[in-house]
């Protein structure tokens, strides 16, 4: 399925690196999407749109709009 369509996908965090740009906080993420044989997706999400202290191996829901990662939430259960 094309990531250009608005959608939420489940995946596993491969890496999460905090970044500060001119005082604004972001998180650079690499996520392996469930059911996707392609390479991991990479994105930068504002700290307000991402849970605190994400660690590699955590399962997350990732919201995409026009192929851009816009929101991340921890998966429950």
CATH superfamily assigned to domain 7-74: Nucleic acid-binding proteins (2.40.50.140)
Q: Where are the domains of the chain?
A: 7-74
Give pLDDT, residue 1.
58
56 φ, ψ (degrees, to nearest 5): -55, 140
Give CA 7 to chain center in angstroms. Answer: 12
pLDDT digits (tens, 9 = 90+) for 8-27: 999 999 999 999 999 999 99
pTM (2 d.p.): 0.89
């Amino acid at each position: 399925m094309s990531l250009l369509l608005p959608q939420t996908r489940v995946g596993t965090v491969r890496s999460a690196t905090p970044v500060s740009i001119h005082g604004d906080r972001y998180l650079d993420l690499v996520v392996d999407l469930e059911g996707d044989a392609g390479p991991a997706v990479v994105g930068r999400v504002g700290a307000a749109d991402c849970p605190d202290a994400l660690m590699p191996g955590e399962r997350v829901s990732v919201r995409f709009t026009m192929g851009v990662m816009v929101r991340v939430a921890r998966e429950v259960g």
